[in-house]
Structures are given as C-alpha cells and as structure tokens.
Amino acid sequence: MTIDQFEALGLALLLGTLVGAERGWQSREELPGTRVAGIRTFALLALLGGIAGLHIATPLSALSLLLVAGALLALLLGYRADMHHDARVSATSTIAGVLTVGWGATAGAGEFALASVGTGATLVLLASRRGLHHLLEHVSETDLQASLRLVLVVLVVLPLLPDANLGPFGALNPRRIWLVVVTTGSISFIGYMLARWLGERRGMLAVAIVGSMVSSTAVTLEAARRLREGAAGGFVNAAVPLASAVMLTRSLVLVALLAPAALVAVASAVAPALGVSVIAAGLLLIVRKASERDGGGKPPQAPGLGLALLFAASVAILALASAWVEHNWGDRNAALVIATGGTFDIDAAIAAVGALPSGTLSPRAAALALTAPTLLNTLFKLVLFVGIAGWRRSLAGTVSLALVAVVLGGAVVILLGA
C-alpha cells in the first residue's frame, strides 16, 4: 500500500466520520438500535467509497462497484423500513449516505480538494435544517420572485454571454456589461433583505457601507428606487453621500497599493470631495425628521431589474465613448484615455496608472487622470438619482446638492493645481 493510497483512504474515512457525526447528533434522541445509520456506518460507507475509487481502473473495479451497490441497497432498504415504522417521510439521511459514498470515492480517486469541498458543502446543508425551514416559513411569494430573478440573471443569463470584445472599437463586452446588471441586482436584493431583517434605516446604511465596496453607483440607484417607492427619506438619503465617502476611501487605498507614486497628489485632490461626502452624510443623519422610525415609511418592496438594465445600458454608452477617445487620442494623451475609461471603472483606471512605466505621467497628471473620472462618476450618479427619485421627493434635493458639492470640491482643487 502506497502513501498516496493511505492518504486517500484516510481522508475518505475522516470525511465519512464527519458526516456520520452530524447525522448521529441529529438523531441523538432516538433510542439505541432504532437508528439505521450512525457515525460508524457513515464512516464505513465513505471507506467503501474510497476503496472503490482506488480500484476504479484496476481488475478489482467490478468487485468494488458490486460492494458499493450492495451497501447502498442495504442503506435504502433500512431507511425504507424506518420511514414505514415511524410513518414519516424523509430522504435526507438516505441521500447523505449516497453522497458519503460518492465523496469517499472521489477521495479514493485522488481528488482530495473536490472531496473535501463537497463534504463541507454537504455538512453545511445538513446542519442548516432549522435555519432553512425557518427561512421558508417567513419567505413571501414576492421574496421568492425577487430571488428567482437574481438566479436568472446570475446563473442562467451570465454563463450564456460571450466574454469577447464586440461592436465599434471592440468596446462592448457582453459579459462585462451584464456583470453590471448582476452587481446592481445583487446589491438591491441584499439591501431589500437587510431592510426586512434590520429595518429600513439600519438596512439601508448597512447596504451603503457594504455595497459601495463594490459599486457606489449601484447603492445610489437603490436609494433612488427606495425614495421613489415611498421609503422614509432621512437614512435613505444619507446612504448616498456615505457610499461616496466609502468609494473615495476605497479608491485611495487602491492607489496606495497599485500606484503609490501618485498617492499624495491624488489624496490632496480627493480630500475635499471626501470631506464633503462625510459632512453631508453626517448632516443628513442629524437633521432627519424626528418622527422617522423603522417602518415609518412604506415597507420595503422587492427590487426588479429595470434600474439594473438602465445602468448597464449607461455603462455600455460610456464604454463606447471611452473606446472612441482611446481610438483617437490613445497615442497622444494617456491621462485623457485613463480618465475617460475610469468614469465607469475607477479600479481599472487606478490599475492602469500603476502599470505605466515610471515617469510616463507626472504625479499631477496621474492625480488628474484618477480624480477626473471620480468626479464624472459623481455627476453620473447625480443624473441617475434626480431622474429616478425626483428633485422634490423627500430630501432628494439636499442629496443632489451634496453630490454637486462633491464635484465642485474636487474641481476646485484640480483647477488650482492646473
């Protein structure tokens, strides 16, 4: 017996023991002798699967498969008799036993990582019984429809789209553009679930902080949608400048990591916009209506995909504009090309500056290339916010003024530097 074979059987035995321990704990209140399979049985099933995996390509493969088939048949008959005796129907332990054999065979075949991950996923699902049942009891039809829409976007449409540069100047990548829909839809869905769980105020602030790590524009769209549908205004409005503050801070961290030579110049240019965002978020939280409470507005409504598709279309237009600028100016003005492209992907702009050979751009030019798209993106968010939420809805006008102040703060620094 080789070391590899010993390791394979050892892993199979360990994985089966873990599944058996979980199944044994779930049935710990049953009387001795009334359980079909416990920790030892599941360990033996995995060990048998490991032996089958070891011999799958040897003359003993037929015997191994016959033993596995016999064990599975005994398992099925045992659980069938158990269900008949207890007058209850549950196939969970039966399927867990079949999977245990499968993961043991996977380990025996040398796929250690796959066997470990698969067993881990199996254990998580088995141990989540109460939580999943509790979730189903509290999920409405609207919640189910919203989650199915997200599944459609992520698991059905996304894999079908080509990851290729198409259209004029090769600017349109269907998969990258659809990822905008995935990101926006996911943030909206998470925000909706957080609002259901934490309440409108805390849920919106939580999604502003977490969601803006991925896309502050998507957070702005979600806040505008909430306002349009009648949500209480104070905390929802504060989420917009708060998301901008998180986005600007995140950008500075990325600059420090990817383009450290431009950090001081970028930080001095971004500081006014960051300060305005923090102050605006604080003021909107302080001056919110005293009567606002969780549930003070309309209950949160499940998000659709309309706004996500609108955002994706806007990104496609910006991508075309960026490609046109690069086609006509790429050989003469690297800063202009980076600034234009960074309007819809500031991370790519930061990475582009960091990848340039030393001395290609002065610190001031690098700061302009990275600050300009941030300000243009803020203007983009302003247009989307006003167009969706409306100027007069709740405190939308105040939020719009805050976004304008962010742009003006950065623009003044750029002009003074120039």
The per-residue pLDDT for range 108-119, each reduced to its tens digit, is 888 999 999 999
* Average pLDDT score over residue span 132-158: 78
d(CA 322, CA 326): 6
d(CA 402, CA 238): 10
Higher pLDDT, 161 or 406: 161
Higher pLDDT, 303 or 395: 303
User: pLDDT digit string (tens) for 93-109?
Assistant: 788 888 998 999 999 88
Token pair 């490991």 in the structure block, residue: 50
Let me know: does 255 contact 385? Beta carbons within 8 Å.
no
Identify the pLDDT of residue 232: 59
* Average pLDDT score over residue span 300-305: 72
Identify the pLDDT of residue 14: 92
Token pair 């978020």 in the structure block, residue: 281
Let me know: does 93 contact 100? Beta carbons within 8 Å.
no
Identify the pLDDT of residue 290: 46
d(CA 327, CA 130): 58
In the chain, % of residues over pLDDT 70: 78
Identify the pLDDT of residue 333: 57
* Average pLDDT score over residue span 349-364: 70
* Average pLDDT score over residue span 156-175: 85
User: pLDDT digit string (tens) for 218-270?
Assistant: 888 888 888 887 765 567 778 888 888 888 888 888 888 887 887 888 888 78
Indicate the burial class of 348 (C-beta count within 10 angstroms; 0-12, 13-18, 19 or more).
Answer: middle
d(CA 270, CA 374): 9
- Map out the domains of the chain as residue ranges: 3-135, 140-417
Tokens of 92: 């969970």
User: pLDDT digit string (tens) for 261-302?
Assistant: 878 888 887 888 888 888 888 887 776 654 454 445 556 677
Q: Kindly report which listed range (46-50, 90-94, 332-336) carries the lowest average pLDDT score.
A: 332-336
Q: pLDDT-based confidence at 151, cuts 50/70/90?
A: confident
Cut 0.75: pTM above it? no
Residue 372 in this model has a pLDDT that exceeds 50: yes
Q: From the centroid of its chain, how far is CA 149? A: 15
Tokens of 222: 């979600």
Let me know: does 197 contact 139? Beta carbons within 8 Å.
no
For the residues of 140-170, what is the DSSP string, one character each?
Answer: -HHHHHHHHHHHIIIIIIHHHS--S-BSGGG
Tokens of 179: 């990822």
Let me know: does 195 contact 219? Beta carbons within 8 Å.
no
Provide the 10 A C-beta neighbour count for residue 291. 8
Query: What Cα–Cα distance (Å) separates residue 143 from each residue in 51, 118, 300?
Result: 45, 28, 11
User: pLDDT digit string (tens) for 14-62?
Assistant: 999 998 888 888 776 665 655 666 788 888 888 988 888 888 767 777 8
Tokens of 208: 């502003």
Query: Of the candidates 6, 163, 20, which has an alpha carbon nearest to the alpha carbon of residue 100?
Result: 20
Helix (H, G, I), strand (E, B) or coil at 261: helix
